[in-house]
Chain A
Amino acid sequence: MNFLFRYANPHEFMRLSGAVLPFTAVATVLCLGVGLYLGFSVPPDYQQGTTVTLLFIHVPADVVAELAYGAIAVCSLLSLVWRHPLADTAARAAAPYGALFTALGLITGSLWGKPMWGTYWVWDARLTSFLLLLFLYLGYMALWNAVEDEARAARAAAILALVGVVNIPIIKFSVDWWSTLHQGESIVSGKVAPVYLWPLLIMMLGYVLLFLTLWMVRIRTVILERRARNLMQAGTP
């Protein structure tokens, strides 16, 4: 906890994130570059043909969609329970990225579903719970914008984020609990051939780094906007 509070201070966060950002930015570009190169060098899959290349953008988008939600949930908990001063800012800042990655997961998945399943969309457990994730993000952002008083908005949004967390294990285990068109878990259980696994892992890392980089820049932006607002208020007689 002490560690978290030390960097909770906006000043410390600006210093630390400023030092880390150049590295995460460069690592993002490297991972995405290498990942795409390897991704377009794989042989067609014996069942899925060339659509296997969709793996490298579909799964990373889904992973970040859930990771960003987890980040919002953790920040919300820190804000509600420990009154962590930067947590609300961090939670709110992650939402638009989470929503975008969720949308990308849905779009790339649907473009993969058509050639493999014969349909863009099916109301099965995995797809429906993932669509719900998008609505959770949109609801979360709408709630922040709807409540005028910032402290109350933060509280309401944090509660919504924490209630919505129940959806994350549902997404994860939906393919085990219900019969679904979507394939089951295959990465951790080692069912992905190494030739596809490496580009996938590198792209995943690239997507995660991209999210972390953008999230940090966004938090920094909000901190500066707040400083400017305080200066404005101090300046008005």
Chain B
Amino acid sequence: MNFDMGAYSVYIWPAYGISALALAGITLWTLAAWRRAKARLAALEKRPSQT
């Protein structure tokens, strides 16, 4: 593998950095929302039935 991008480093690394951050960010957001929804539903289902 070669990470020496020479003079073009200033363009290549920001492009990779922004892409990695954005994709990691939206993955974490998606998973956090999923866990939140799951926990909320579980809490509601545990509630004693009011009927």
Contacts and interface: CB of A to CB of B under 8 A. Distances in A.
A and B form one complex: yes
Given A41-B2, A53-B12, A232-B44, A214 B26 contact: yes
Interface residues of A, number: 38
A142 interface: no
B5 A53 contact: yes
B14 A111 contact: yes
A112 B26 contact: no
The bracket for how many chain B residues form the interface is 20 to 34
Given A217-B31, A217-B34, A49 B6 contact: yes
Given A227-B41, A235-B44, A237-B50, A104 B3 contact: no
A228 B40 contact: yes
Given A41-B1, A115-B8, A235 B34 contact: no
A114 B11 contact: yes
A173 interface: no
A136 interface: no
A142 B26 CA distance: 19
Contacts of B5: 50, 53
Interface of B: 1-6, 8, 11-12, 14-16, 18-19, 22-23, 26-27, 30-31, 33-34, 37-38, 40-41, 44-45, 47, 50
